Structure 1
């Protein structure tokens, strides 16, 4: 069930963040994406996993898909771009906007 949920969420949405509400790196990733609020054709899907009964399974699945179990895991157009630091670096370099635009998210 969790595997199908993760795969379908990534497949069916242009921008997905698997996150935990209290995590500073998750907040960093979401802040970078929030800079484009009002420009999105399709709002990013944020999955806050810490209160889900399948939290551990989701992290294990993310580990298999991306090589890392930690959150955040940010996906644009089905591809993991990394976590909070990578998302911020992409924004700082101007690449995040390009990725979002290429994906048709903005």
Structure 2
């Protein structure tokens, strides 16, 4: 996996403790963001539907994580899944320990 978009994805994942690849209209993306807002955790987000290369980035995320769906949420460089996964981690109490 190489090329400018793959490099962009890798650099973005490394740019913050919490990174969300999202689409602005997606309810599961909103769910993930709401969890981080609730615990006052800063995150970086890339809205794929506002980018000309959004489909290419989704393909790269598919290669990295095994899924093209959004959101793709990364904590400290590791993909933790999507909106429901983040909500389940929060409700189980595991999310905060992953962030500390």
Aligned Cα root-mean-square deviation (Å): 0.9
Kindly report which structure 2 residues correspond to 1:54-65, keeping only aligned pairs within 5 A, or say none: 54-65=53-64
Provide, for residues 59-90 of structure 1, a one-character-per-residue CA deviation record: whole Å limited to 9, x for no partner: 00000000000100000000000000100000
Gaps of at least 5 residues in structure 2 are none
The alpha carbon displacement at 1:12 in A equals: 2.4
Kindly report which structure 2 residues correspond to 1:31-50, keeping only aligned pairs within 5 A, or say none: 31-37=34-40, 40=41, 43-50=42-49
Kindly report which structure 2 residues correspond to 1:56-95, keeping only aligned pairs within 5 A, or say none: 56-95=55-94
Correspondence for 1:25: 28
Gaps of at least 5 residues in structure 1 are 102-106
TM-score with structure 2 setting the length: 0.93
3-state SS, counterpart of residue 50 of structure 1? helix
Query: Which aligned runs of 4 or more in structure 1 are off by greater than 4 angstroms?
Result: none
In 2, Cα distance between equivalents of 1:14 and 1:50: 23
Say whether residues 1:9 and 2:12 are aligned partners: yes
Relative contact order, CA 8 A, sep 6+: which one is greater? 1
3-state SS, counterpart of residue 89 of structure 1? helix
In 2, Cα distance between equivalents of 1:84 and 1:100: 16
The alpha carbon displacement at 1:13 in A equals: 1.5
